[in-house]
Amino acid sequence: MTETTQKTEVARSWFESLRDRICDAFEAIEREAGSNAAFHYTPWDREEEGNADPGGGVQGLMKGRVFEKVGVNVSTVKGSFSPEFAGQVNGASADNPGFTATGISLVAHMANPHVPAVHMNTRFLTTGKAWFGGGADLNPPIPYVDDTEEFHARLRAACSAHNPTYYERFKKWADDYFFIPHRGVHRGVGGIFYDHLECEDDAAFARNLAFTREVGEAFLDIFPRLVRRRMESEFTPQDKQIQLEWRGRYAEFNLVYDRGTLFGLKTGGNIDAILMSLPPEAVWN
C-alpha cells in the first residue's frame, strides 16, 4: 500500500465513521417526532475508461417528518482529470492529471421552515499535492439570531482549538464563496469554508486531519441541537412560501456556482449523489 493510499484510507475511515454517527443522530430526532424514517443506502461504482479501480461511494438518503430530505454521502474515487479540467485543480495539470479523493458531503432540507437547512462537507484530495478542505454553513429560510450566533460560536471554538487565525479566515471564505452574484444575496447565514490545507509531510497530514475531524465533531454537536429547538414550531402558509422561494435560490447557487457539484460532474461521480443537494420542492415567482 502506497503512502498516498494509506492516508486516503485513514481519511476515508474517519468520514465513514462520522457519517454513521450523523445518520444515527438524525434518525433519533425522527423517532422523537414519532417517525420511523430511516436512511436508505445505495452503493455506486464509478466508471473510467482504462481504469481498473476507479472507486465509488455510498449515497445515504432519508425522507422523514423532520428531515424532509437529507443526504449523507461518502465517496472514495481515483483516476485522471480531463486535460481541460486538470488545470483548475490544485496540484494537477494536463501533464499530471492523476488524483484520489475521499470525502463526506451532507445537505439537509427540513420540513418545518423555522428549522434551518444545512450543508457540511469535508474531504481529502491528492494530486501532485495533498490537502484537506471542507466546512459547514447554515441556511435558514427564516433566520434566528440565536441560532446563527450559536452555530458560529461552535465553529469558532473548533477553529480556535487549532489555529487562532482559522475562524476569521474561514468565515470570510464562506461569506465570499456562498454568495449568489446574480441575486446579490448570500445563500445563508454563513459558517466556515476552507480548502488547500496542504499536507507536505506526516505532521501536516496529522494536523490537518485533526482539524477536519474537529469540524465534523462541531457539526454533529451543534446542528441536532438547533433542529430540536425549532422542529415543533408552528408555521403558516406564508412561512412555507418563504421557505420554497428561498430553496429556489439555494438550487440556483448549487447548479451555477458550487465547485463540489462541478467536481463531481467532471470526475464521473454518481449523478443522484451529486444532485442530492437540491431541495425536494422549490418555487420561482
What gap in Å lies between CA 142 and CA 240, rounded to an integer?
Answer: 10
Is 119 in the active site?
A: yes
Q: Which domains does the chain have, with CATH numbers?
A: 3-277 (3.40.1500.10)
CA-nearest of 96, 29, 32 to 62 is 29
What gap in Å lies between CA 84 and CA 90, rounded to an integer?
Answer: 14
Q: 31 pLDDT exceeds 70? A: yes
One of 119, 152, 182, 186 is an active-site residue; which one? 119
Give the count of beta carbons closer than 10 Å to the beta carbon of residue 161. Answer: 13
pLDDT at 1: 61
- Is residue 99 within 8 A of residue 89, CB to CB? The reply is yes
| 227-254 per-position pLDDT tens digit | 999 999 999 999 999 999 999 999 999 9
pLDDT at 88: 82
Measure Cα distances from 6 to 32, 222, 243, 260 in Å: 40, 31, 43, 24
Q: Which residue has the higher pLDDT, 21 or 266?
A: 21
Q: pTM for the full model?
A: 0.95
- Is residue 273 within 8 A of residue 71, CB to CB? The reply is yes
What gap in Å lies between CA 131 and CA 48, rounded to an integer?
Answer: 23
To the nearest whole number, what is the mean pLDDT of the chain?
A: 95
Local confidence band at 102 (pLDDT 50, 70, 90 cut-offs): very high
Q: 62 pLDDT exceeds 70? A: yes
Q: Which residue has the higher pLDDT, 285 or 151?
A: 151
Measure Cα distances from 99 to 20, 125, 263, 283 in Å: 26, 7, 12, 38
Give the count of beta carbons closer than 10 Å to the beta carbon of residue 168. Answer: 12
| 105-124 per-position pLDDT tens digit | 999 999 999 999 999 999 99
| 170-180 per-position pLDDT tens digit | 999 999 999 99
pLDDT at 211: 98
Collapsing DSSP states into helix, strand and coil, what is residue 55? strand
Instruction: Please report how many Cα atoms fall inside a 13 Å half-sphere around the Cα of residue 182, on the Cβ side.
Output: 7
Three cell numbers, residue 65: 417528518
pLDDT at 263: 86
